[in-house]
Structure formats: C-alpha cells, structure tokens
C-alpha cells in the first residue's frame, strides 16, 4: 500500500497564484520529508526537504509546512510562474533507508 | 561524474526478449536505488544497494527482474522475458550515504515492449 498519500492529482493556477500540495503519512518512524520536482523527460530533482523538528521551511518561493501531530505536510509555491509547471512528488523516509513517494501532483501555471 | 548517468535513454524491445539497463551513479555515492515510473504514475521502488550490504530487493515485481552493482559503482537492471506491462521509465538514483541525504536521479530509461 502507498505509505505517503498525496493530493490533489493535478491543479491549475494563474501566474502569481499559490498552488498548495498536501501529503499525509502513517509511519511515525519517518523522519525526513523531501519534495521533488520533475519536468517532462527528466528525472525528479530535489527541491526542498524538512525534518520533523521544525514546522516550516522556506527556500526561495517554495515553502514546506509540517504538522507532526496530524502527520501531514504540504508544499506551497509562492508567486507561481509558468516555469514552475511540473509534476511534484512528496516523499518520506525513516533514517537513511529508502524513500517512499506520493503519487505526484501535476501543476500547471497559466500565464 | 557530475550526475547520474543512465543508458540507453530509450529502448524498444519485442515481448519475450531480455533487456539490460545501466546506471552510472555519482562518484563516491554509496547508496543506489532503482525505481519504476509508469505513465502518469508515481515512483515504484524496485531495489536498493548500500555499500557492501546485501541489497534490498523487496520491490522487484517478479523473478524476471534482477539487478547487480559491481565494485560499488555501476549497476545493471536486467529484465528477462519482457512483457508489455514492463513498459515504463526506469529511474536510477544515488545518494551520498542514504535517503536522508536526498537522492540525485538520472534522466531514466524509457522502455517500450512491443
């Protein structure tokens, strides 16, 4: 079964809007939560990551919010641009073991 | 090398044939992973190599799939007697020590079984 549940499957926003992607997990041993960005024909690339000792992390226009008690985390893309149109994957791992990925969200930013 | 290199980038094969997919990880990365991505789907874990430890093969979908990693570097994923449902993009990733350091993915091999 999928260890990380991701929603929505796809979303469309206007340029400047804030797409929000949500992920939920059950395994309380997970302690590393990265997000990956994938463009067509390319492999996923690490975008930003968070550990459970912080509730929020920002890198440029990308923000992760983390709610340990609810076992949920989300990605916000501030001031979204057409170049942000891509598929985004959340993931989680326990220790240095393998990553379990969500099903992915296709984000389209319209100019 | 500068990144994870996978070859071939595209492979078309006839049903029933065997295929070999190659992954050249970043130099010095001890962890290597294979994932499969079907059209419009997420990433399905296949196998994980970490240093000299026995690989985690728990994600391999059938005994037609096997992988090896020689000298702690290059890895080869072999699919025997390919089936149409094996058509997918096969992604390789490497990591400095493990998942907690983030993966670097290659661009993948797109396998089409006709």
Query: Using H for helix, E for strand and C for coil, what is the string for A24-47?
Result: EECCCCCCEEEEEEECCCCCCEEE
Q: What average pLDDT does chain A have?
A: 94
Span between the terminal Cα atoms of chain B, in Å: 33
For the beta carbon of residue A64, count every other beta carbon within 10 angstroms.
23
Chain A positions touching B102 (Cβ under 8 A) are 34, 46, 49
pLDDT of residue B1: 54
pLDDT in the model for residue A10: 96
Asked if the Cβ–Cβ distance from A41 to B107 is below 8 Å, we say yes
Higher pLDDT, B12 or A95: B12
What's the domain count of chain A?
A: 1
Query: What's the pLDDT tens digit per position in A36-79?
Result: 999 999 999 999 999 999 999 999 999 999 999 999 999 999 99
What's the CA gap between B34 and A52, in Å, rounded? 26
Which of B71 and A33 is assigned the larger pLDDT? A33
- Output the pLDDT for position B61: 94
The whole-angstrom distance between residue A34's C-alpha and the CA centroid of its chain comes to 7
What is the pLDDT at residue A1? 65
Q: What is the pLDDT of residue B52?
A: 85
CATH of the domain at A92: 2.60.40.10
CB spacing of A99 vs B98 below 8 angstroms: no
Pairwise CA distance, residues B87 & B97, whole Å: 30
* Cα of B58 vs its chain's centroid, Å: 14
Task: Spell out which residues of chain B touch residue A95, defining contact as CB-CB under 8 Å.
Answer: 98-100
Give the mutation candidate from B93, B102, B109 for the A interface (greatest A CB count, under 10 A): B102
- Touching check for B48 and chain A: CB below 8 Å? yes
Domain boundaries, chain B: 5-113
Mutate to test the interface with A, among B10, B43, B96 (most CBs of A within 10 A): B43
Contact A95 B106 (CB under 8 A): no
Return d(Cα A73, Cα A66) in angstroms, integer.
4
- Which residue, among B29, B42, B57, would best test binding to A if mutated, counting the most A CBs under 10 Å from its CB? B42
Q: How would you write the pLDDT of chain B (114 residues) with one tens digit per residue?
A: 579 999 999 999 999 999 999 999 999 899 999 999 987 778 999 999 998 889 999 999 999 999 999 887 999 999 999 999 999 999 999 998 777 778 999 999 999 999
**Domain range for A105:** 4-110
Homologous superfamily of domain range B5-113: Immunoglobulins (2.60.40.10)
Comparing alpha-carbon positions, the chain B residue that sits nearest to A93 is B99
**Beta-carbon separation of B107 and A49 below 8 A:** no
Q: What distance in Å separates the CA atoms of residue A73 and residue B17, rounded to the nearest whole number?
A: 43
């Amino acid at each position: 079964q999928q260890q990380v549940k991701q929603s929505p499957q796809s979303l469309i926003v206007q340029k400047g809007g804030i797409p929000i992607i949500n992920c939920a997990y059950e395994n309380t041993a997970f302690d590393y939560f990265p997000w990956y960005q994938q463009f067509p024909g390319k492999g996923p690339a690490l975008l930003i990551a968070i550990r459970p000792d912080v509730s929020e992390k920002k890198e440029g226009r990308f923000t992760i919010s983390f709610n340990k008690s609810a076992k949920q985390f989300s990605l916000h893309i501030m001031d979204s641009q057409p170049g942000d149109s891509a598929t985004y994957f959340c993931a989680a791992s326990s220790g240095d073991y393998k990553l379990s990925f969500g099903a992915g969200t296709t984000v389209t930013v319209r100019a | 090398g500068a990144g994870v290199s996978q070859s071939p980038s595209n492979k078309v094969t006839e049903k029933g044939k065997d295929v070999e997919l190659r992954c050249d990880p970043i130099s010095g990365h001890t962890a290597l992973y294979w994932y499969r991505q079907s059209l419009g789907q997420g990433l399905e874990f296949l196998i994980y190599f970490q240093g000299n430890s026995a690989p985690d093969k728990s994600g391999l979908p059938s005994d037609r799939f096997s992988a090896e990693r020689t000298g702690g570097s290059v890895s080869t994923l072999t699919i025997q007697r390919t089936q149409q449902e094996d058509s997918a993009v096969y992604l390789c990733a490497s990591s400095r020590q493990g998942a907690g350091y983030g993966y670097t993915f290659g661009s993948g091999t797109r396998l089409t079984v006709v």
